[in-house]
Structure 1
């Protein structure tokens, strides 16, 4: 088994009007970062937190 440090994380970018974010799955975590600052910090969410966020988007909770 590879350690978490050895694991390769694949970032996926999505943009709207130049406001871009990148999202990656890393084991049980979901990482989110600013695509313009790839060397900057990333936010870490559990898979269940990420699923709740996605549900909120679909429900229009953030409109």
Structure 2
């Protein structure tokens, strides 16, 4: 049960970050925007490079 809750919480964090950064591309580091012409790929690559703790803390500070 606990693992399932952690998994759900992790998906929610990633989804929130993805939604936020797709709407706020200007907040992505410029080097990520140069990696691909596909906006989705830039956002995904940025989130994938975050540590778990950084992603959790960041998701608490943004609103979508």
Query: Above 0.5 in TM-score?
Result: no
- The structure whose Rg is larger is 1
If asked which structure has higher relative contact order (CA below 8 Å, sep 6+), I would say 2
| TM-score, length basis structure 2 | 0.29
More strand by share: 1
| TM-score, length basis structure 1 | 0.30
More helix by share: 2
